[in-house]
């Protein structure tokens, strides 16, 4: 074995409630923004397909957990659907949801698969969005209650918690670039949402820490996109530094260090974009840093300085400070339009080691979405050698980082089964298992077999 990973390394995969559960109107679930958006604007979604059924984990979890076990998973990340657990987002819990999540958690544990549970994966209950979503302090309070309830209900068995998955995505999608509900384009509101999310995050961390759970850890999952400048000329460096501030450090610094980068605060202040704060927020952030960090890594960001100055009368946007740079010769995943740059995973880890106190971390998502995988079927299974190469390439760099002292504890693929994706529905498939959308039959891809060896041997 050339690449051996540390003992106890977490091998598994990740998914989210909206993308995998289905049963969107079963079991007493309330509506979230995705159900609502799909009902009102189905043509926004690829092929007009929404999240109502997806891979039907809600009804098939028992079998699916067997499949996880078969491919050597020792851990698996899911999210709780807030609108399933607490329809409407505030008030009473839904007993059917409690039964469902209890069953899933128990089943995982019985099969020696450690449950990693995330509280918020883009799925705001509709009623709470209607009163302002993350712009509203009442929603922060509701989230705190929801977090507390979840810890009380499931915390005796779940020891790995996450407050948010990729909190920047609802900011970018919902408030900057119009690819998520509520389709607002307004940087000031976006910064308020980003800030309030971190206040909600810190409150959940505070609640969890007050419970003093032995062996319990709480963290956040961030999609870190290392920002590479086109050249080392000062203008390019500045552009890439600002990008890093907006898209990485605006969450990473408060989560790990308990405070926002001064440079970011100054920049927002200069442009009149600072969010509203409340007395006590600073201390809250300072006193409630994470125990560990999930890193989702798909692609880097390549940046160059602006070719033309932004019109100062146009509404403020982070894009005032940089242009994206299409580096000649870069390797692309053409289906998703994302660059594949395996070394990025190493650069992230070294940055965490050197600038973030070597915070405990793991790769909480990494994966390759591919269109029309049926064309790779041979003898009844998808021969996804491209996915194996993709995972291998990233694991090699992760291994090097660990050898150099980085504190990385695991690797989760996105995702276990082909599932529904936010805007792309089933266009790109990511799973270890393919899913026949009519019969819901699951079939292992070649990568699943390969990954079984990796997890069983703790290396490859």
Binding flag, residue 165, ligand BGP (CB under 6 A): yes
CB of 378 to ligand BGP, least distance (A): 25
Stretch binding ligand BGP (CB under 6 A), from 22-30, 250-258, 278-286, 418-426: 418-426
Binding flag, residue 240, ligand BGP (CB under 6 A): no
Instruction: Give the integer Cα–Cα distance in Å for 374 and 365.
Output: 24
Binding flag, residue 365, ligand BGP (CB under 6 A): yes
Instruction: Give the integer Cα–Cα distance in Å for 362 and 407.
Output: 8
Among positions 206, 424, 443, 458, the unique one binding ligand BGP when judged by CB under 6 A: 424
Instruction: Give the integer Cα–Cα distance in Å for 258 and 260.
Output: 7
Among positions 428, 434, 447, 455, the unique one binding ligand BGP when judged by CB under 6 A: 428
Binding flag, residue 251, ligand BGP (CB under 6 A): no
How far out from the chain centre does Cα 402 lie?
A: 22
Instruction: Give the integer Cα–Cα distance in Å for 373 and 187.
Output: 38
Residue 339 φ/ψ, nearest 5 degrees: -70, 145
Binding flag, residue 120, ligand BGP (CB under 6 A): no
Stretch binding ligand BGP (CB under 6 A), from 187-195, 279-287, 314-322, 414-422: 414-422
CB of 273 to ligand BGP, least distance (A): 25
Nearer to ligand BGP, 34 or 208 (CB): 34
Binding flag, residue 162, ligand BGP (CB under 6 A): no
How far are the Cα atoms of 80, 117, 166, 216, 222 from residue 17, in angstroms, in the given order?
6, 10, 14, 22, 18
Binding flag, residue 414, ligand BGP (CB under 6 A): yes
Q: Which of residues 335-354 bind ligand BGP (CB under 6 A)?
A: 336
CB of 271 to ligand BGP, least distance (A): 28
**Angle (CA) 254 257 261, round 5°:** 60
Per annotation, catalytic residue among 307, 365, 404, 441? 365
Side-chain-facing half-sphere of 74: CA atoms under 13 Å = 14
**Residue reference for tokens 């509701």:** 142
Instruction: Give the integer Cα–Cα distance in Å for 443 and 328.
Output: 38
Binding flag, residue 452, ligand BGP (CB under 6 A): no
CB of 189 to ligand BGP, least distance (A): 21
How far out from the chain centre does Cα 358 lie?
A: 21
Q: Is 364 helix (H, G, I), strand (E, B) or coil?
A: strand
Nearer to ligand BGP, 229 or 300 (CB): 300
Binding flag, residue 431, ligand BGP (CB under 6 A): no
Q: Name the closest residue to ligand BGP (Cβ).
A: 421
Nearer to ligand BGP, 5 or 82 (CB): 82
Return the sign of the alpha-carbon dihedral for residues 174, 339, 413, 218. negative
Nearer to ligand BGP, 38 or 422 (CB): 422
CB of 14 to ligand BGP, least distance (A): 8
Instruction: Give the integer Cα–Cα distance in Å for 162 and 155.
Output: 12
How many residues bind to ligand BGP according to rule CB under 6 A?
Answer: 15
Q: How many beta carbons lie within 10 A of that of residue 289, not counting itself?
A: 19
CB of 122 to ligand BGP, least distance (A): 7
Return the sign of the alpha-carbon dihedral for residues 421, 426, 432, 435. positive
CB 335 within 8 A of CB 369: yes
Stretch binding ligand BGP (CB under 6 A), from 345-353, 384-392, 417-425, 436-444: 417-425
What is the per-residue binding string for ligand BGP in 313-332, x denoting contact by CB under 6 A?
A: --------------------
Nearer to ligand BGP, 196 or 296 (CB): 296
Q: Is 280 helix (H, G, I), strand (E, B) or coil?
A: coil
Nearer to ligand BGP, 54 or 305 (CB): 54
**Which residues, other chains included, contact 289 with Cβ-Cβ below 8 Å and sequence gap of 6+?**
205, 255, 256, 257, 258
**Residue reference for tokens 């442009």:** 271
Binding flag, residue 432, ligand BGP (CB under 6 A): no
Q: Is residue 365 annotated as a catalytic residue, yes or no? A: yes
- Where is 397: in which H helix or E strand? helix 385-403
Instruction: Give the integer Cα–Cα distance in Å for 197 and 137.
Output: 10
Q: Which of residues 196-225 bind ligand BGP (CB under 6 A)?
A: 223
Instruction: Give the integer Cα–Cα distance in Å for 313 and 262.
Output: 26
CB 31 within 8 A of CB 435: no
Among positions 21, 64, 123, 166, the unique one binding ligand BGP when judged by CB under 6 A: 166
Binding flag, residue 421, ligand BGP (CB under 6 A): yes
Residues making contact with ligand BGP (CB under 6 A)? 16, 19, 165-166, 169, 223, 296, 336, 365, 369, 414, 421-422, 424, 428
List, by residue number, the catalytic residues: 365
């Amino acid at each position: 074995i050339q690449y051996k990973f540390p003992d106890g390394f977490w091998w598994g995969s990740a998914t989210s409630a909206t993308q995998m559960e289905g049963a969107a109107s079963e079991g007493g679930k309330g509506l979230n923004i995705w159900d609502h958006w799909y009902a009102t604007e189905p043509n926004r979604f690829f092929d007009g397909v929404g999240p109502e059924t997806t891979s039907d984990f809600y009804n098939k979890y028992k079998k699916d957990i067997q499949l996880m076990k078969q491919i050597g998973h020792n851990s698996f990340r899911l999210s709780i659907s807030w609108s399933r657990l607490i329809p409407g987002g505030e008030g009473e819990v839904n007993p059917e949801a409690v039964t469902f999540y209890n069953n899933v958690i128990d089943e995982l544990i019985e099969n020696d698969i450690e449950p990693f549970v995330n509280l918020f994966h883009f799925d705001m209950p509709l009623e709470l969005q209607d009163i302002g979503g993350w712009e509203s302090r009442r929603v922060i309070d509701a989230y705190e209650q929801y977090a507390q309830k979840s810890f009380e209900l499931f915390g005796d068995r779940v020891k790995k918690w996450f407050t948010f998955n990729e909190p920047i995505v609802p900011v970018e999608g919902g408030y900057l670039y119009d690819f998520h509900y509520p389709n607002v384009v307004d940087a000031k509101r976006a910064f308020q949402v980003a800030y309030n999310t971190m206040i909600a995050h810190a409150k959940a961390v505070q609640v969890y820490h007050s419970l003093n759970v032995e062996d319990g850890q709480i963290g956040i999952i961030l999609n870190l996109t290392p920002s590479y400048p086109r050249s080392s000329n000062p203008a390019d460096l500045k552009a890439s530094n600002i990008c890093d501030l907006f898209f990485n450090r605006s969450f990473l610094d408060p989560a790990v260090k308990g405070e926002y980068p001064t440079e970011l605060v100054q920049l927002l202040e200069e442009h009149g974009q600072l969010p509203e704060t409340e007395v006590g927020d600073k201390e809250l952030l300072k006193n409630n840093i994470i125990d560990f960090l999930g890193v989702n890594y798909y692609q880097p960001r390549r940046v160059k300085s602006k070719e033309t100055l932004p019109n100062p009368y146009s509404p403020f946007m982070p894009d005032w400070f940089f242009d994206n740079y299409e580096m000649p010769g870069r390797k692309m995943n053409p289906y998703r339009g994302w660059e594949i740059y395996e070394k990025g995973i190493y650069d992230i880890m070294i940055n965490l080691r050197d600038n973030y106190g070597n915070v405990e971390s793991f790769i909480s998502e990494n994966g390759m979405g591919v269109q029309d995988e049926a064309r790779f079927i041979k003898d009844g299974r998808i021969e996804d050698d491209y996915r194996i190469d993709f995972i291998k390439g990233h694991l090699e760099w992760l291994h090097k980082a660990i050898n150099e002292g980085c504190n990385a504890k695991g690797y989760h693929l996105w995702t276990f089964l082909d599932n529904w994706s936010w805007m792309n529905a089933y266009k790109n498939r990511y799973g270890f298992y393919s899913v026949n959308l009519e019969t819901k039959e699951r079939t292992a891809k070649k990568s699943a077999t390969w990954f079984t060896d990796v997890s069983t041997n703790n290396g490859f």
